[in-house]
Each structure stands twice: as C-alpha cells, then as structure tokens.
Structure 1
Amino acid sequence: MKFGETAERYNILGSTYKRLGLLSKDTAKENAYLEASDAYKKADNLSPAKDKYYPITNWIAIDHAISLKKTGKKGKPKETIADQNDESPVDKSGDWTKLLESALAARPVRSQGKKNFWDFVAEADIRFCQLLLHYSQEEFDKMSRLYQKIWHFAGHQGNRLGTLEHLDILIDLYGFVGENKIIKMIEKCKVLLEGGSVDTNLTSGQEGITN
C-alpha cells in the first residue's frame, strides 16, 4: 500500500487481518495478528493525536499477547513485534503505558452532556488496554462503567456489535497465547455489556498479570 496511504486505510487493513486471525489457526493465526499489528502501527504514525487511541490500543494488545507467547513469561517480554531483531530482552510495558496515557490525554475535553459515542469508546478502549498490561480492581470497575455507558449511548446495533466483536477478538488472541486470567476479565466485561450479572471482583488470582 504505497499510493494514497492514509490512517483510515491502514486501520481498515488492520481490522481485516484481525478478523482473519480470529478465523485462522496456529501459525496462520499468529501471522494474521502480526500483519494486523503492523498495519495499526502504520495507522498510528499517520493519525492525528486525537485519533491515535484506536490504532494504539489495537497494536499494543496484539504485541502484548504475542510477546507473552514468545517468552512464556507474564510481563517480561524478551522480544516484542516492534523489536523482533533486538538481541537483548526488551520489556515494553512502560513504553506501552506512556503511549496509552498520551492517547488518553490527547482526546478532546468535553463536558459529560456533550460527549459523543466515540468519546466514550476512546476512554473505555484505552482503559481496557491499560488493564491488559496492569490489572487493578478499581480500574476494572471504572472501565466496566464506561463500557456500560457506551452500551446505553450506542444508538444502533452496528456500534454494539462492533464492541462485542472487539472483545471476541481479544478473547481469541489471549486464548491463543494461553492467558486465561486475562480472558476471564474480558469475558466478564462482555457478560456485563450483554446485560448479564457477574461478580466483578477479579482480585483473586488476577493481580500481577504483567507484574
């Protein structure tokens, strides 16, 4: 994709590979997710600051999961997708956290009554990605409330299906790398969005997903 490169086109390409990953198996699945990560990184480079949250949250989630798969160690990835040629171990969690904080700070500040659907989505997606890196019960509760606000705010079924598909892909991605504790968190969030009732206390056995 050399002609007419735009953030939107790379985001679409990333989403396409991400869905391919959901449908694929074994090496083909990993390769599809790697292609998605690469496309989202390119979208990030071309996006204005206020729109970076979407590609950033996607490629960080993918890189985080694949890094855990490569090392078998929670929170100490020896090699990330962005640094596959590095000879020394690289722990990217600090860099990822800074990127997410910057993406959150770059979002337009609006009063509660003037927030639109995408304002809620941006904050919730960023906080969700932060939870993938470092879990806390307080942040999980905040993120759950944000997603529930989105659910009530979203006026059409397409927006709701998009949110559920995003969670399904994350379940598949972290299932592929065997991160059952992270899957449990995602599944509970999905149940809440679908109107179910769950015990949101995930503290037992959940802290230290990446610590």
Structure 2
Amino acid sequence: MKETPVDGADRIRGGPAAAARDPQLFEAFYRRHVDAVTRFVARRVDDPHTAADLTAEIFLAVLDSAHTYRPRLGSETAWLYGIARNVVSSERRRVAREAERDLRFSGRRLLEADDIARLEDNLDAESPGRRVLAALARLPEGERAVMELIAVDQLTVTEAAAVLGIRQVTARVRLHRARKALRDEADSQVAETDARAVSSGVPGARTPNASPLYAKRGEA
C-alpha cells in the first residue's frame, strides 16, 4: 500500500485538492478529519440520523470545494468548519421550509445500531456545546457567528475570519461586541435577581447600593 504523505499535524501534503483527485488520499483525509467534523455537527443537531447525513454531505462538498482551500488562512479543520457551517445552515433552511415534520426523514439511509450508538455518544458529549450555542442565539447574526467559531469550535480569530469571509479586524470587533453583550446580559440578570431578593425581604439579600454592579467607577 502506498504511504500517505502527511505535512504537519493537520494537513495531508497537497491538501484537499490532492485528496479530491486521489481516492486513497481522500480516504486518509476523511479518516483524519471525520471525528472533528462529526463533533462540529453534533454541537448543532441532536438527532443521530441527521448528524450522519450532514457529515456525509460535508465530505461530499469537499470534493467540489477542494480548490478553495488556502493554507495561509488556517488549518484544514478550520476550512472544513466553513463548509460544515454552510451545510448545516442549508439543512436548517430546508427543514424550515418543510410543511410536514416527517418529510425530514424520508429517503434517508438506515443506520446500523453501532452507528447510532456512536453518534448518540457524540451528541451526548457535545450537549454542553449546544447549550452554549443556544445561549448565543440572542446575539446579532454576525457577532454570533464569530463567537460560535471561536468560543465553541475553538478556532482562532484569523481562522474564524477566513471561514466567514470577513477581515480579521471585523472579526475582532464582532467578538468584542459579542463578549460585551454577554457580560451586560449576565450583569443584568444578577441585578434583577438581587432586586427580587431585596423586594421579597430575603435575609442577607444585597441591596442595590451594596452590589458591585452598582458601585461607582473606581470602587469595588
């Protein structure tokens, strides 16, 4: 068997373009990245059949998009996440257009019990990621997309910018705004909890003036 040429921890020599032309390289590419792609999908869906279908669609899309990979913009994993994000978004739009829920499952291939068990394990493992994504749902789309890729999918700002097709400075501004919005929301929730506790006469409850949230600039 021909040895698979590998360049670095995340990259097969020649990249996705070479893998798309060579079935053996593509198999190696698939095996190298399938777990990361499956986890990406599992953070966004909670059905094993859907996760299996979307993972397969992502690697099929690689064959058409292989020529778009640019090593200088980030790792193969980050590039795959960009494809995966588009595939997942397309699926969500498709589901939203369906009049009957059952149509989502029509014509899908049957999964073996082992496949379902493996995917369910991934779905369970990634449930914290899905909760984080749900918490980000109130952010504007652009800020949410950057925050998802960096905070949940663990990409760098450079890679997130490449995935979204925006400048790095734009990604940094959106990340800053997203973090500020989340901090403000958390502060607001704490303040509301304090106010309810004070009004109900809970022993030991903080008064607004006693809370660090209400401290003057330079205090606390």
With the length of structure 1 as denominator, give the TM-score of the two structures. Answer: 0.27
With the length of structure 2 as denominator, give the TM-score of the two structures. Answer: 0.26
The higher radius of gyration belongs to: 2
